Amino acid sequence: MTENSSKAQHGQGRTCVITRRACFSSSHRYWLPEFSADDNSAYFGACALAPGHGHNYELIVSMAGDLDRDGMVLNLSEVKRSISNEVTDQLDFRFLNDAWPEFDINKADGCLPTTEALVRIIWNRLQPHLPIIALRLYEHPRLWADYLGNAMDAYVTIRAHFAAAHRLAKEELSQEENEKIYGKCARPNGHGHNYLVDVTVRGSINARTGMVCDLSALQFLVDDLIVETFDHTNLNKDIPYFSSCVPTAENIALHIADLLTKPIKAMGANLHKIRLQESPNNAAEVYAELPQLNAIPEMLETMETNYKRA
Ligand SMILES: [Zn+2]
Ligand SMILES: [Zn+2]
């Protein structure tokens, strides 16, 4: 073997994860024939309105495999072609309810094309062609679903925002000691952040509604318990929990997890994760279900998308 040919095969056989992004625009409508018009609108709100509405979807596809002699897990042109043939060419500029038979609600096993139902069907259609290990589908910047190939189990994340002030300091310490620990964050009059909070729930996709849980109820819960409570407050002074607990990003994320775990359980889903982003430069994550379950793969979190640029 020449030196050149051994160099050409550097890495061959070693495992690697690759990620590919694809976009499509589609419309859909949430409406079930077995419900009355009133029940459809009570259940699905504005999503039940005829003739439907649309989203610019972003799909993140993670694949794993061993490097070939050309230094690739897969040929990216083939990856692109498979995603186009199996997904985007079939869905782009289409009405999802009509695009695939899985979403034909006039059939007994038809299911509404929610984000979580759609990402699962995309998995089923891509899996024969690509070594996928995880999929994420963004419906918009504040709603996305992850699917890891586990039967009807899916993850849905909603993003909320609140603005709040805080000061990082322990009451029992002097100003000097606090500044040694918390730096500028211990300055006496506090400072503020625009917090982004991502609430991830895990649950079983309902075979008919396509939903892991009632999304508008989840949104109401997060608005009511988190946004309304924390927005435009001084966390140290206005939130009793933080009168005795330093409101670091980590502690705020933990407190949010504690506030949401039970009510989400009561809705029939499980709080999986809270991710609290304090600034473009720092965030804290709390896994409410660990160690029983594996976390959502990191490559889905780090992929830069139109929707998740820092
Ligand atoms: Zn929609
Ligand atoms: Zn701060």
Work out the pLDDT band at 293, boundaries 50, 70, 90.
low
Does 16 qualify as catalytic in the annotation? Answer: no
Please give the structure tokens belonging to residue 309.
């640029």
Listed residue (167, 110, 174, 118) closest to 147, CA to CA: 118
Distances from the Cα of 147 to the Cα of 59, 121, 192, angstroms: 11, 10, 35
CA of 54 to the centre of ligand 1 (A): 6
Backbone region of residue 45 per phi and psi (left: phi > 0; alpha: psi in -120 to 50; beta: other values):
left
Nearest ligand atom owner, CA of 187: 2
CA of 35 to the centre of ligand 1 (A): 19
CA of 55 to the centre of ligand 1 (A): 6
Work out the pLDDT band at 70, boundaries 50, 70, 90.
confident
- Catalytic residue, from 86, 102, 116, 278: name it: 278
Q: Specify the pLDDT at position 13.
A: 84
Does 86 qualify as catalytic in the annotation? Answer: no
CA of 167 to the centre of ligand 2 (A): 7
Q: Specify the pLDDT at position 64.
A: 93
Strand partners, 56: 25
Q: What is the mean pLDDT of residues 154-158?
A: 98
Q: Specify the pLDDT at position 8.
A: 56
Instruction: Check whether 305 has a pLDDT greater than 70.
Output: no
CB 274 within 8 A of CB 288: yes
Distances from the Cα of 61 to the Cα of 8, 91, 134, 249, 265, angstroms: 27, 16, 6, 30, 29
Mean pLDDT of the chain: 92
CB 102 within 8 A of CB 121: yes
- Catalytic residue, from 177, 228, 232, 298: name it: 232
Nearest ligand atom owner, CA of 281: 2
pLDDT over 70, % of the chain: 91
CA of 283 to the centre of ligand 1 (A): 28
Q: Which amino acid is at 305?
A: T
Q: Specify the pLDDT at position 38.
A: 96
Listed residue (150, 85, 73) closest to 119, CA to CA: 150
CA of 277 to the centre of ligand 1 (A): 26
DSSP state of 296: P
Q: Tell me how crowded residue 135 is: count the other CB atoms within 10 A of its CB.
A: 25
User: Alpha-carbon distance 31 to 121, whole Å?
Assistant: 19
Does 278 qualify as catalytic in the annotation? Answer: yes
SS3 31: coil
Listed residue (199, 155, 156) closest to 293, CA to CA: 155
User: Alpha-carbon distance 257 to 226, whole Å?
Assistant: 10
The pLDDT tens digits of the residues spanning 3-61 come to: 455 555 778 888 999 999 999 999 999 999 999 999 999 999 999 999 999 999 999 99
Q: Specify the pLDDT at position 185.
A: 96
Q: Tell me how crowded residue 289 is: count the other CB atoms within 10 A of its CB.
A: 15
Listed residue (72, 61, 79) closest to 133, CA to CA: 61
- Catalytic residue, from 55, 129, 179, 185: name it: 185
Instruction: Check whether 308 has a pLDDT greater than 90.
Output: no
SS3 45: helix
Nearest ligand atom owner, CA of 215: 1
Q: Specify the pLDDT at position 278.
A: 95
Q: Specify the pLDDT at position 2.
A: 47
Please give the structure tokens belonging to residue 274.
């809270």
CA of 262 to the centre of ligand 2 (A): 28
Listed residue (56, 51, 52, 43) closest to 216, CA to CA: 43
pLDDT over 90, % of the chain: 86
The pLDDT tens digits of the residues spanning 183-219 come to: 999 999 999 999 999 999 999 999 999 999 999 999 9
End-to-end CA distance of the chain: 46
What is the CB-side half-sphere exposure of residue 104 using CA atoms within 13 A?
7
Q: What is the mean pLDDT of residues 241-261?
A: 97
SS3 76: helix
Question: Which stretch of 21-35, 112-126, 225-239, 291-305 has the lowest confidence by average pLDDT?
Answer: 291-305
Q: What is the mean pLDDT of residues 132-151?
A: 96
Q: Which amino acid is at 268?
A: G
Q: Which residue is listed with tokens 């804290």?
A: 284
Q: Which residues surround ligand 2, an ion (CB under 5 A)?
A: 185
CB 128 within 8 A of CB 221: no
Q: What is the mean pLDDT of residues 77-82?
A: 96
CA of 125 to the centre of ligand 1 (A): 21
User: Alpha-carbon distance 137 to 143, whole Å?
Assistant: 9
Instruction: Check whether 310 has a pLDDT greater than 60.
Output: no
Q: Specify the pLDDT at position 181.
A: 97
Listed residue (100, 20, 27) closest to 57, CA to CA: 27
Instruction: Check whether 268 has a pLDDT greater than 50.
Output: yes
